[in-house]
């Protein structure tokens, strides 16, 4: 997990990675174990067994996949210096193309076409932002509008009149099938149902990772370390990232910046398209208008949450997928139980900050913890709307508490003209 | 003086060619889409032009344009200082909900009720935009990301606010916020059989004038444009950039808060599931198309409203009204691309002209020099 780097205290004034401290693997494992133990404690106190259920975790994973793929798409583009707000549009293109090819020629062809559809959106974004140097955000917004219009228009011709299809919905697509690790899955499920402290929760988490997996889920999960390996361990990745950090310097070393930016943004679109295909082939066996429901934006949020790193992104996607799954399953009582978890985490944060002599932050955390605890004690459930808003609120909070610690690629969103350094 | 005139003609040429190229591109590309889907590439346009001649459609277009105009002004004021308020969408919806709830719960006489609702809407919009503004100036959070998150949070908050057990009223399958008291209804301009133009459209037009005045004739406007052009130069001349960011966000949010009111106060008198939802994003397109100028935005707002309202008829005549959405997306991309291309082209022209002038001057100098040498 050397991918997740966290800045230390000092670096507000120190731009270079000098003041950074790596969040090493053992530390990260301890943190994860600690959060799991706390969750387990909360589960025992509140009797909300749903929060670490196998099927809960399995749903969470399924919801995290499109978010993670969109986030990976954002990561590829932004690492090469192109901001991609058009992820939502590329996701939409992926859902439509995936279902369109999927219902005619089978789900795997659908996946391929989903990738192509998203990549086409990426190509357009690249032409507008890299060749014409138009503001990246404007281009992204326009692509989101265009993708919506194109898919709605095309649905009128392609899906209406076909059996099972309407102007808003495609005919059903065959399933890619699911994989359940035999034996292990059942064993973990039984363990999970014992409701023991910690053991059952870990069993639930692992059980979710081996039960009813779609092959596409495995691909998506594998893409995270793969992206890290390509971008941080190959010369191709080094060149690509150099375009996002300092294109002029990259150019002076003979890197074809335009080519790398194009490649990065097309790959970015392809990844978002794959996420879209996942939505319209695996998550639902059909395309439905409005199916993406802002997942592209959550993907972007997950990427920022993860500090433009694949590991952090995966963590963010997992977290957001989990909050989404709470809404679908078990609903408001589970979220209510999690209020207690948040309160406990805030207490720890308060102690931590006071120990580090940051008294103002400590008091803020303590007050927030008290507020959460009071909220937990005085109510029985929370409105579902709060659950829906959770990923966005978390992202805003993360940004506002650690905007100075996050480090986006240095030339992200900047225009670049060939030979501008001369 | 002659120099000045020439310069203005050049500017006019450059200013007009941007949108013209964009619209032409959009028409050509949309026609390609029509031909590719086996439809006539001309008839949809003639249907839509014909629609624009009907007075009832004209009223619909003007009413829609009024809302777009307000949203686009909100976006434009941010653009003028390089701020991206993507959050206009969330700001106007939240402001409309809050105004609708206040309008249903509070009953003052008309002269006080309408200003109250307007102020409530502006404050709500400003507050929602202000969150992003404060995060930007105190924590350095990008306003783009913050406003995108706030848009989604606003959707959830609205969903919560009009739950029947909170402030909502269930009417059949529709969730509403209850009917507002009649004193808060904004009187419209009766056009007879064609319908009614929202009175709020007049306020939108007045705000356009105010926008022009504030930006071009006040110190604040100057500071705002200066900060947009060069933050460091503005800071050097004593402008507090942080304060400008926050103020611009607040003003932008307050304007955005008004964008839903023409419909809310003039027609629906309640916020429901069917309240239009993407006016803020349309505002971005319109502000770009109108180049942030109040007159340009007005034309752009009318154009986009025409596309939207006139395309409804296409469905009845064997075409698909989604073609208008495609056209709009293409316009947005074509506009920004053509503006950029025209800008670069204009720069080259200018450089070439200056180059020629310099060459002529240099040639004259050398020939004079030669004459001098010859004369010796």
The 10s digit of each residue's pLDDT in B215-225 is 999 998 999 98
Q: Do A400 and B150 touch (CB under 8 A)?
A: no
Rounded distance between C-alpha atoms, residue A287 and residue A164, angstroms: 11
Whether A260 and A318 have beta carbons less than 8 Å apart is answered as no
pLDDT tens-digit map of B273-313: 888 888 998 898 899 888 889 999 999 999 999 988 888 88
Bridge partners (DSSP) listed for residue A7: A20
pLDDT at B213: 95
Which residues of A touch chain B, with CB atoms under 8 Å apart?
Answer: 83, 85, 124, 128, 132-135, 137-139, 141-150, 152-153, 156-157, 294, 297, 300-301, 304, 383, 385-386, 388-389, 392-393, 395-396, 399-401, 403-404
Pick from B301, B306, B243, B230: nearest CA to B76: B301
**Among the partner residues A83, A146, A150, nearest to B333 by beta-carbon distance:** A146
Bridge partners (DSSP) listed for residue A22: A5
pLDDT tens-digit map of B85-118: 989 999 999 999 999 999 998 888 878 899 999 9
The ipTM of this complex is: 0.83
Q: Do A146 and B330 touch (CB under 8 A)?
A: yes
pLDDT over threshold 80, residue A391: no
Alpha-carbon distance values, B127 to A400, B69, B94 (Å): 17, 21, 10
Q: Do A400 and B33 touch (CB under 8 A)?
A: no
Q: What is the 3-state secondary structure (H, E, C) of chain B?
A: CHHHHHHHHHHHHHHHHHHHHHHHHHHHHHHHHHHHCCCCCCHHHHHHHHHCCCHHHHHHHHHHHHHHHHHHHHHHHHHCCCCCCCCHHHHHHHHHHHHHHHHHHCCCCHHHHHHHHHHHHHHHHHHHHHHHHHHHHHHCCCHHHHHHHHHHHHHHHHHHHCCCCCCCEEECCEEECCCCCHHHCCCCEECHHHCEECCHHHHHHHHHHHHHHHHHHCHHHHHHHHHHHCHHHHHHCCCCHHHHHHHHHHHHHHHHHHCCHHHHHHHHCCCECCCCCCHHHHHHHHHHHCCCCHHHHHHHHHHHHHHHHHCHHHHHCCCCCHHHHHHHHHHHHHHHHHHHHHHHHHHHHHHHHHHHHHHHHHHHHHHHHHHHHHHC
Q: Which of B42-51, B238-247, B251-260: highest mean pLDDT?
A: B251-260
Give the distance between the most distant pair of CA atoms in chain A: 68
**Among the partner residues B139, B285, B340, nearest to A134 by beta-carbon distance:** B340
pLDDT at A22: 53
pLDDT at B365: 83
How would DSSP label each residue in A251-274? HHTT--HHHHHHHHHHHHHHHHHH
Rounded distance between C-alpha atoms, residue A325 and residue A304, angstroms: 21
Average pLDDT, chain B: 87
Average pLDDT, chain A: 83
Q: Which of A275-279, A288-292, B235-239: highest mean pLDDT?
A: A275-279
pLDDT at A330: 59
Minimal-distance CA residue of chain A relative to B330: A146
Determine how many CB atoms are found less than 10 A away from the CB of residue B8. 10
Bridge partners (DSSP) listed for residue B171: B174
pLDDT tens-digit map of A343-369: 888 888 888 888 888 888 888 888 888
Higher pLDDT, A415 or B70: B70
pLDDT tens-digit map of A143-191: 998 898 889 888 887 887 777 778 788 888 888 877 777 777 778 778 7
pLDDT at A141: 86
Percent of chain A with pLDDT over 70: 92
Rounded distance between C-alpha atoms, residue B42 and residue B274, angstroms: 33
pLDDT at B69: 96
Across the A:B interface, residue pairs with CB atoms under 8 Å apart total 131
**Among the partner residues A156, A383, A393, nearest to B322 by beta-carbon distance:** A156
How is residue A277 written in tokens? Answer: 């295909």
Q: Which of A6-20, A252-266, B10-24, B186-200: highest mean pLDDT?
A: A252-266
H or E stretch including A321? helix A310-328
Q: Do B333 and A143 touch (CB under 8 A)?
A: yes
Percent of chain B with pLDDT over 70: 97
Residues of B in contact with A168 (CB under 8 A): none
pLDDT tens-digit map of A2-17: 334 433 333 333 333 4
Pick from A222, A207, A217: nearest CA to A57: A207
pLDDT at A331: 62
Q: Do B139 and A388 touch (CB under 8 A)?
A: no
CA–chain centroid gap for A348, Å, is 26
pLDDT over threshold 60, residue B7: no
Q: Do A399 and B146 touch (CB under 8 A)?
A: yes
Pick from A111, A119, A29: nearest CA to A77: A119
Higher pLDDT, A327 or B168: B168
How is residue B107 written in tokens? Answer: 């009953």
Residues of A in contact with B156 (CB under 8 A): 385-386, 388-389, 392
Q: Do B325 and A395 touch (CB under 8 A)?
A: no
Alpha-carbon distance values, A299 to A143, A276, A315 (Å): 16, 12, 12
Q: Which residue carries 């006071």 as its tokens?
A: A354
Percent of chain A with pLDDT over 90: 30
| Rounded average pLDDT over A317-333 | 77
**Among the partner residues B86, B160, B326, nearest to A149 by beta-carbon distance:** B326
Bridge partners (DSSP) listed for residue B170: B175
Residues of A in contact with B336 (CB under 8 A): 128, 132, 134-135, 138-139, 142
Minimal-distance CA residue of chain A relative to B282: A145
Mutation target for B interface from A89, A146, A364: give the one with most B CBs within 10 A. A146
Minimal-distance CA residue of chain A relative to B326: A149
Residues of B in contact with A327 (CB under 8 A): none
Bridge partners (DSSP) listed for residue A21: A6
| Rounded average pLDDT over A213-229 | 91
pLDDT at B202: 92
pLDDT over threshold 80, residue A310: yes
Reported as a pLDDT band with limits 50, 70 and 90, residue A82 is very high
**Among the partner residues B146, B152, B328, nearest to A294 by beta-carbon distance:** B152
For residue B233, the distance in angstroms to the closest alpha carbon of chain A comes to 20
Higher pLDDT, B159 or B376: B159
Percent of chain B with pLDDT over 90: 34
| Rounded average pLDDT over B161-190 | 83
Please calculate the CA angle A394-A395-A400 and round it to the nearest 5 degrees: 100
| Rounded average pLDDT over A318-332 | 76
Q: What are phi and psi of B169, to 5 degrees?
A: -135, 125
For residue A407, the distance in angstroms to the closest alpha carbon of chain B comes to 12
The pTM for the full model equals 0.84
Residues of B in contact with A128 (CB under 8 A): 333, 336-337
Minimal-distance CA residue of chain B relative to A385: B156
**Among the partner residues A156, A396, A404, nearest to B140 by beta-carbon distance:** A404
Minimal-distance CA residue of chain A relative to B321: A153
pLDDT over threshold 80, residue A272: yes
**Among the partner residues A137, A142, A393, nearest to B329 by beta-carbon distance:** A142
Whether A56 and A50 have beta carbons less than 8 Å apart is answered as yes
CB hemisphere CA count around B233 (13 angstroms): 10
Residues of A in contact with B324 (CB under 8 A): 149
């Amino acid at each position: 997990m050397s991918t997740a780097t966290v800045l230390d205290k000092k670096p507000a004034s120190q731009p270079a990675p000098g003041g950074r401290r790596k969040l090493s693997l053992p530390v990260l494992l301890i943190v994860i174990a600690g959060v799991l133990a706390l969750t387990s404690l909360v589960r025992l106190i509140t009797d909300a067994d749903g929060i670490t259920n196998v099927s809960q975790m399995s749903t969470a994973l399924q919801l995290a996949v499109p978010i993670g793929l969109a986030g990976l798409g954002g990561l590829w583009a932004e690492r090469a210096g192109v901001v991609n707000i058009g992820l939502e549009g590329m996701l939409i293109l992926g859902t439509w193309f995936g279902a369109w090819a999927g219902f005619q020629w089978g789900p795997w062809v659908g996946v391929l076409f989903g990738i192509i559809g998203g990549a086409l959106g990426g190509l357009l974004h690249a032409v507008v932002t890299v060749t014409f140097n138009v503001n990246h955000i404007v281009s992204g917004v326009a692509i989101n509008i265009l993708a919506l219009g194109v898919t709605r228009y095309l649905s009128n011709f392609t899906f209406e009149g076909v059996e099972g299809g309407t102007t808003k919905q495609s005919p059903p697509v065959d399933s890619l099938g699911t994989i359940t690790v035999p034996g292990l899955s059942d064993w973990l499920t039984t363990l999970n149902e014992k409701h023991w402290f910690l053991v059952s929760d870990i069993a639930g988490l692992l059980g979710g990772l081996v039960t009813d997996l779609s092959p596409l889920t495995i691909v998506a999960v594998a893409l995270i370390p793969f992206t890290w390996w390509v971008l941080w361990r190959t010369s191709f990745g080094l060149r690509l990232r150099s375009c996002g950090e300092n294109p002029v310097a990259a150019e002076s070393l003979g890197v074809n910046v335009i080519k790398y930016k194009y490649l990065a943004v097309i790959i970015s679109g392809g990844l978002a398209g794959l996420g879209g295909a996942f939505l319209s082939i695996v998550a639902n066996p059909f395309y439905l208008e409005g199916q993406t429901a802002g997942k592209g934006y959550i993907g972007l949020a997950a990427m920022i949450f993860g500090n433009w790193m694949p590991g952090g992104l995966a963590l963010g996607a997992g977290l957001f997928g989990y909050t989404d799954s709470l809404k679908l399953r078990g609903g408001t009582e589970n979220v209510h139980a999690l209020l207690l978890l948040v309160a406990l985490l805030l207490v720890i944060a308060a102690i931590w900050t006071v120990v580090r002599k940051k008294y103002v932050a400590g008091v803020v955390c303590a007050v927030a913890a008290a507020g959460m605890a009071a909220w937990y004690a005085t109510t029985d459930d929370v409105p579902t709307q709060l659950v829906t808003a959770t990923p966005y609120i978390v992202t805003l909070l993360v940004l506002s508490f650690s905007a100075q610690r996050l480090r986006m690629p240095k030339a992200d969103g900047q225009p670049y003209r060939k030979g501008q350094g001369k | 003086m002659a120099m000045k005139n020439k310069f203005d003609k050049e500017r006019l040429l450059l200013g007009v060619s941007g949108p013209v190229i964009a619209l032409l591109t959009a028409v050509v590309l949309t026609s390609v889409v029509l031909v590719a889907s086996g439809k006539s590439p001309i008839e949809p346009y003639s249907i839509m032009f014909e629609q624009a001649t009907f007075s009832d459609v004209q009223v619909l277009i003007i009413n829609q344009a009024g809302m777009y105009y307000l949203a686009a002004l909100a976006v434009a004021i941010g653009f003028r200082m390089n701020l991206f308020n993507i959050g206009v969408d969330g700001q106007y919806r939240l402001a409309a909900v809050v105004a609708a709830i206040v309008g249903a719960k509070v009953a003052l006489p008309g002269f006080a009720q309408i200003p109250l609702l307007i102020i409530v809407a502006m404050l709500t919009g400003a507050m929602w935009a202000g969150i992003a503004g404060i995060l930007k100036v105190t924590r350095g959070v990008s306003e783009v990301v913050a406003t995108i998150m706030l848009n989604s949070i606003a959707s959830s908050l609205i969903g919560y606010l009009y739950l029947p057990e909170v402030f909502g009223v269930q009417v059949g399958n529709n969730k509403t916020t209850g009917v507002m008291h009649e004193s808060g209804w904004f009187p419209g301009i009766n056009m007879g059989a064609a319908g009614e133009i929202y009175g709020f459209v007049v306020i939108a037009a007045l705000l356009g004038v105010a926008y022009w005045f504030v930006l071009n004739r006040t110190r604040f406007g100057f500071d705002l444009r200066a900060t947009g052009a060069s933050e460091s130069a503005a800071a050097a001349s004593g402008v507090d950039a942080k304060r400008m960011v926050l103020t611009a966000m607040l003003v932008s949010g307050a304007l955005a808060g008004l964008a839903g009111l023409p419909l809310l106060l003039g027609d629906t008198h309640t916020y429901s599931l069917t309240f239009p939802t993407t006016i803020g994003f349309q505002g971005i397109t319109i502000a770009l198309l109108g180049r942030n100028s109040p007159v340009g935005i007005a034309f752009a707002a009318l154009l986009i409203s025409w596309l939207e309202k006139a395309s409804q008829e296409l469905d009845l005549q064997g075409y698909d009204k989604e073609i208008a959405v495609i056209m709009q997306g293409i316009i947005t991309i074509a506009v920004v691309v053509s503006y950029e291309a025209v800008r670069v082209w204009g720069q080259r022209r200018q450089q070439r002209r200056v180059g020629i002038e310099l060459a002529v001057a240099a040639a004259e100098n050398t020939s004079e020099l030669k004459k001098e040498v010859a004369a010796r």
